Amino acid sequence: MRSLLPPGVTVVETYEDVLDPSPFPEEEEAVARAVEKRRREYATVRHCARRALAELGFAPVAILNGARREPLWPEGVLGSITHCDGYRAAALAREGTVASLGIDAEPHEVLSPGVLALVMRPEEHGHLARWAEERPGIAWDRVVFSAKESVYKAWFPLTRRWLDFEDATLHIDPWDGTFTAALHRPGPVVGGVRVSVMNGRWLVRDGLILTSVVVPAPCTTPDSEPAS
């Protein structure tokens, strides 16, 4: 994941659960009724987040979820977390380094037909065939899913609004590991400029799909139009 994010963003990742992640009591309470697997991944990804906080010079704190299950960071910090089978990661930055960021990890497996129907816009189905022809062996439908998850994670802290899969169209470069997401809802206003496109990066490695989206700090916000 570190290779998908710019300087100034701290990343801590692990491929296995921490044996003694030392969760805060409030965190233990939040998943007290969850199955053991869920409790381990919840605790481990927060262990990663606290290590990232320490690298940024912040004291360890409990990291709970907000109303949309978004992580609640201490003042002065923004970030994103992700976990899937065999991988947990946290990416954090000081406020002002970037405007927002989102990361996601998924197993490198094709989506079920039911999930695919929810994720893809009509115009994206044609892209799938082209990407598969240009670069076979990649689960492009899952790349789209992961990329849109990263888009949402970067979107929500700036808007506090839901964003459906159909609210963004993905354009993926199958060779250079980048993508753009054209938003079909009014985007967030960053530094007086409305963001209409979010840019991201993707990587397939070791059975995983990793994606990231970064909304630059106001002085460097690209691909945007004046706010109305």
pLDDT tens by residue, 4-39 = 999 999 999 999 998 887 889 999 999 999 999 999
Residue whose C-alpha is closest to residue 83's, from 141, 21, 138: 21
pLDDT at 219 (0 to 100) = 74
**Domains of the chain by start residue, with CATH:** 2-97 (3.90.470.20), 104-226 (no CATH)
Q: What is the pTM of this model?
A: 0.93
**98 strand-pairing partners:** 95, 216
Q: Write the DSSP assignment of the chain as a string of letters.
A: -GGGS-TT-EEEEESS--S-----HHHHHHTTTS-HHHHHHHHHHHHHHHHHHHHTT-------B-TTS-B-PPTTEEEEEEEETTEEEEEEEEBTTEEEEEEEEEES-PPPHHHHHHH--HHHHHHHHHHHHHSTTS-HHHHHHHHHHHHHHHHHHHH-S---GGGEEEEEETTTTEEEEEESS---EETTEEE-EEEEEEEEETTEEEEEEEEE-GGG--SEEE--
pLDDT at 225 (0 to 100) = 46
Cβ contact 216:98 at 8 Å: yes
d(CA 218, CA 81): 23
pLDDT tens by residue, 178-206 = 999 999 999 999 999 999 999 999 999 99
Residue whose C-alpha is closest to residue 16's, from 88, 108, 103: 88
pLDDT at 20 (0 to 100) = 81
Ranges of residues in the chain whose predicted pLDDT is under 50:
220-228
